Amino acid sequence: MDPFSVTVTIAKPREEVFEYLADLANHAEFTDHYLKDWHLTREDSYGRGAGARFRVAAPGNRFPWADTTLVEVDPPYRIVEIGRAGKYNRIRVTGVYTLTPGPGGTTRVEFRNEVEPALLTDRLLEKLGARTWLRRQSRKALRRLRSILEEGLDRGTRATIAG
> Could you tell me the domains of the chain?
4-161 (3.30.530.20)
What is the C-alpha to C-alpha distance for residues 150 and 137, in angstroms, rounded to an integer? 20
**Angle, nearest 10°, between helix axes 131-151 and 14-21?**
120
Instruction: Note the pLDDT tens digit of each residue in 45-87.
Output: 999 999 999 999 988 888 899 999 999 999 999 999 999 998 8
Name residue 21's amino acid. Answer: L
Taking residue 147's Cβ as centre, other Cβ atoms within 10 Å add up to: 16
Mean local confidence (pLDDT), 114-127 = 73
Instruction: Note the pLDDT tens digit of each residue in 131-158.
Output: 889 999 999 999 999 999 999 877 878 8
- The number of CA neighbours under 13 Å toward the Cβ of 142 is 22
